[in-house]
Amino acid sequence: MRMTLPQTPSFRLEGRRALITGASSGIGLGAAVALAEAGAAVTLVARHWAALETVRDAIRAQGGQAEALALDITDLAATAAAVAAAGPFDVMVNSAGMARHAPALDTTPEDYDTAMALNLRAAYFLTREVARGLIAAKRPGSLIHVSSQMGHVGGPDRAVYCANKHALEGMTKAMALEWAPHGIRVNTLCPTFIRTPWGEQTLKIPERRAWILSKIKLGRVGEIEDLMGPVVFLASDAAAMVTGTHLIVDGGWTAE
């Protein structure tokens, strides 16, 4: 009797539309390229049109499907209108984020509010609008936030950053529970320090680089490519039973 073997679910994303914020550089750019390579039609979101146009054209030159949308997601009304007009999106990767690191005793209300406005408030309402479109269209989806290992541990000069990333993790769990009946999965991707233009600001400080490398058990800083496979996994049918949780890509930082 011939045995019937299980089949690996597909990592391919043909026929799906993906919205990626922070897509003009760094982790967001890597996510956009990865999803396009997997077959998704990607919509690239960031504030600056020229940078978005460059990324869009590069993805198209490789045979991918890409559109660009200049948008500041902290403008909640403009974001809701844009998502309603361009959606629904089967996949969302929210990679927009910022930090103003400082000792907790030196944190200004202005820096606190600016970081929270993008990293948490904008993330909350962006996710809501993407989910609203999916529910109205009766379509399942995968909504992914680029969080951080700092959403699970603490770090020097990072009280505000840790606060909004820990909150993002809780928000993700609650939304995952609420939207699971609609087939909408919500997860976070939690990288360690990644070599991006933003990350290099910390890595170029010798004592901070030494501290970082002492915590990453694999002995190196992360690269954008280290996150591209995990993004595709979370977006695809291969992660069909993964929701309300986090995928930590930290080289062993949080294992101890």
Residues tagged active-site? 161
As a whole number of angstroms, the distance between CA 222 and CA 238 comes to 24
Q: Which residue has the tokens 């890597």?
A: 30
Q: DSSP labels for 166-202?
A: HHHHHHHHHHHHHHGGGTEEEEEEEE-SB-STTTHHH
CB 230 within 8 A of CB 239: no
Cβ neighbors of 219 (< 8 A, separation 6 or more) are 213, 251
CB 203 within 8 A of CB 195: yes
CA dihedral 27, 33, 35, 38 (to 10 degrees): -140
